[in-house]
Amino acid sequence: MAVVQALAMVRDGVITGEGPTARGRVHFSRMLDSTDASWCARLLTAAAMDNQPVSREEAEALFEINDVAAERSDDGRFDDLFAKAIVHHATSASGLPVPPRSIALSPGTPIESWAPTKAVGVNIEVLEWVASQMRGKRRSNRRLMALVASLIGAATLPLTHLPNVFDIGM
């Protein structure tokens, strides 16, 4: 729970440009910068958390940060971390094995090296939860959308559900 609370502080700092995660630097409201992305990475990969899968609450906190950050100046680091963390959660919540966070969430580790490549064993309810979090957002993470569709297994969803994943009409 401490990680979720700390991620909420990062979210609040992104919203206001103030607070403990923005202290000592110029930070504009609604801007996510490399320091914010580093905060998220450090929190999610702390040694005490390394062998635990990313939790639903942590994933929700990351969706909130993604939603409030209207602008980005982090060279894509948060988007990479965000996609990997959500896939880590979805994979583990489906009962599939995941590597330690320090490996899975590392910028140097390609997600394709550990994420499921087939839909076998992926929990459809988890996929629907991820899709519901992505639906209707003003800022979408194209990498996460592609991973949900291909790596995690859009093939497990009936075709009538696919428009909801991508917020398009059939």
Q: Name the token pair of 130.
A: 């991820």
Length of the chain: 170
CA dist 153 → 11, 43, 69, 166 (Å): 30, 28, 28, 14
pTM: 0.81
Block mean pLDDT (10 aa), the chain, length 170:
93 92 85 95 96 97 93 93 93 92 96 78 79 71 63 47 45
Q: Look up residue 117 and give its two tokens.
A: 């490549």
Q: Give the whole-angstrom CA distance, residue 58 versus residue 47.
A: 16
